[in-house]
Structure 1
Amino acid sequence: MTMLEHKYSRIEIGLRDRFVYNSNNYVVISYDDRYYRFQKEDDVHFEMRLSHEEIYQAILDQKATVSYDYHTKSGSKMRQIIGDKVLADFSDDFVKLARYREHLILKYEQYCAENFRTPRGQELEGLLKTWSLQVQGVEGKRKSRCDKTNDTFGPPTVKSFHRYLKEFLSCERDMRSLLPRHHGPGYRHQAIECPESYQIWLEVARSYASRRRPSKAFLLKVVHARIFEENEKRSQAGLKLLLAPKRKRFESLIKAMDEIEVVAGRDGPAFARAYYKSKMAGYDIERPGQRVEFDDWNVDLMTLLVECGIWGKLSPVVQANLQKVRLWFCTAVDAATRYVLALKATFEPNSVAVIGALEMMMSDKTHISQTVGAKTPWIGLVRPETAYTDNGGPYISDATRDAFMLCKVDLTRPPAGHPEKRPFIESLFKTLSGYILAFFDGGTQSSVAKKGDYNAEANATLTVDEFVHLFIRAICDIYHNQPTARLNGNTPHNAWVEKTSQYNTRAVPSRNELRHIFGTTVDNKKITSAGITNWGVPYNSEVLQSVRRAKGKQLYKVRYHQNCLSAISVQIDGKWLTVNNTIGMDHTVTLAEWIYARKQLLQANQEKVKDQLVAMYTAINDLRRAGESAALRAGISPHMPTAHGMKLLAQQLFEGHDVQFSQRADIELDDVELSDDPLRRGQVMPIAHRTSVLAAPEIPAVVEDNDDHSQF
Structure 2
Amino acid sequence: MPNKRLYLTLNDRVRRNGECYRPAERLEQAWVLMHVVDGEMLVDDDDAWHLTDKRQQELRDAKVIAVDENYFSAAGRDLALRDDDLLLHDLTDAELRAIAWKVEWCTRWNRARAGLDGRDRKPALTPKGLAGFIEAEREAVHQWYIDRYDMPRPLGRDIVGIQRKTYDYPGPTTLREWISEFEDAGFRSSAFKPGYGRCGNRKQLDGRVLNIIQQRVDEYASRGCPAKDDVFMDVDADVRRLNRELPKDAQLSVNERAVRRRVNMLPPVTVDAGRLGTDVAGRKYTPVGEGLRTFNGLEVIERMGRVEMDDWEMDLFAILNDAEVYDTLTPKQREQARKLDPKVRCTVTAGIDVVTRCIVALNVTPGKPSTMGSRRALHSMFIDKTGWARLAKATSEWPMTAKSREIATDGGPAFEGDFRDTVRRCGITHRYPGGNPASRGHIESFFRSLKGFCRMFTGQAFANVVKRGDYEAEGMASVMAHEVEILLVRYIVDEYHRRPHSGLGDMSPLSVWERSTNELLTAPDEVQRHAAFGIRKRNLRIRAPGVRYMHVDYKHPKMGLLYGLVGRRDLTGVINPNDLGTILVLVPEEARRAIGAEGDFMAFKADEFRGVPLTRLEHYNDEIKRFAADEAADGRSVRHEARQFIKRAAEEARIRAGAPSDVMTNDQHLAFLERLERAGDRASSPRAKPEGAPMSAADEPDTLGVSIARKPGSGRVADPAKPATRKSVNRYRDEER
| TM-score range normalised by the length of the shorter chain | 0.3 to 0.5
Does 1 or 2 have the higher relative contact order (CA < 8 Å, sep 6+)? 1
* TM-score, normalization by structure 2: 0.40
Length-normalised TM-score, structure 1:
0.41
Structure having the higher Rg: 2
